[in-house]
A = this chain, B = another copy of it.
Amino acid sequence: MVNKKQIRGVYLVTDRPLCIHHNLAEVVKLAALGGVSFVQLREKETDSRTFLELAKHLIEILRPFSIPLLINDRLDICLAAGAEGVHLGQSDLPWWEARRILGEQAILGLSLETKEDYFSLIHTHPKPELDYLAVSPVFDTNTKTNTKPAWGLMGVTWLKNQTNLPIVAIGGIKESNAEAVIEAGADSLAVVSAICSAKDPKLATENLSKKFHSIKE
């Protein structure tokens, strides 16, 4: 079982169409070898059967490394595959329903798109049973559509100062801005194309991972 207090480091969010040099399984394996801390399987167009098979395959790859797999949105895929948790957006199932269904051991993360999302969260649940909050997006990005205006680095710092929960930053993060995002307060950097589309996903993961060591250790 993952120690929930250690949500930190590089967090790969998958996107199969962006896996241009290697297939999904290869990207995930290489990211694991490069020291990725978490992987989130995100599939928006796939049928449930294929989604489940992908999840099971990624768990086979990740479990020897003790790297948790989270599933985007779909609790049922998480339950059927035996994944470690779920990442929820604002249009997904309510996180408290997810917590009730998955139990307290599951890793549960929630994306916040605006400060209002945060206020609305703590208004109803001053101590939400969540394992991290994701600032989404930190920077503008092409990999996700319909997102609200970017939080920026000051948004990361703002959220870090509001909560004791670990902060995952997502959206437009790459090697060149990673240090600034960590310094702004991110405990974890979620990346999509910076690893999925990299010619060398292992090296890309290592380089992002080093940013944590150079700053915080």
Hey, which bits of chain A sit against chain B, CB under 8 A? 47-50, 52, 73-77, 79-80, 90-94, 97-98, 101
Identify A48's interface contact among B50, B93, B101, CB under 8 A. Answer: B93
What secondary structure prevails in chain A residues at the interface with B? helix
Identity of the chain B residue whose Cβ is nearest the Cβ of A93 in the assembled complex: B48
Given A74-B76, A75-B79: A47 touches B91 (CB 8 Å cut-off): yes
A142 to B50, CA, bound (A): 25
Q: Are A80 and B101 in contact (CB under 8 A)?
A: yes
9 contacts between A and B (CB under 8 A): A49-B93, A52-B93, A74-B76, A75-B79, A75-B80, A80-B93, A80-B94, A80-B97, A80-B98
List of 10 A-B pairs having minimum Cβ-Cβ separation, nearest first? A75-B76, A47-B91, A76-B76, A80-B97, A48-B92, A49-B91, A48-B93, A79-B101, A80-B93, A48-B73
CB distance from A84 to the nearest CB of B (A): 16
CA distance A77 to B50 in the complex (A): 19
User: Are B93 and A76 in touch, CB under 8 angstroms?
Assistant: yes
**CA–CA, A91 to B49, complex, Å?**
5
Which residues from chain B contact A92 at a C-beta distance below 8 Å? 47-49
CA distance A93 to B94 in the complex (A): 22
Q: Within 8 Å CB of A50, what residues of B?
A: 91
**Distance between A217 CB and nearest chain B CB, rounded to angstroms:** 39
Given contacts A80-B94, A80-B97, 4 further A-B contacts (CB under 8 A): A49-B92, A52-B94, A74-B76, A76-B93
Residues of B near A94 (CB, < 8 A) are: 49, 52, 80
Q: How far is the CB of A56 from chain B (nearest CB, A)?
A: 11
A74 to chain B, nearest CB (A): 6
Residue of B nearest to A44 (CB): B47
Residues of B within 8 A of A97 (CB): 52, 80
Query: What is the bound-complex CA distance between A49 and B111, given in angstroms?
Result: 14
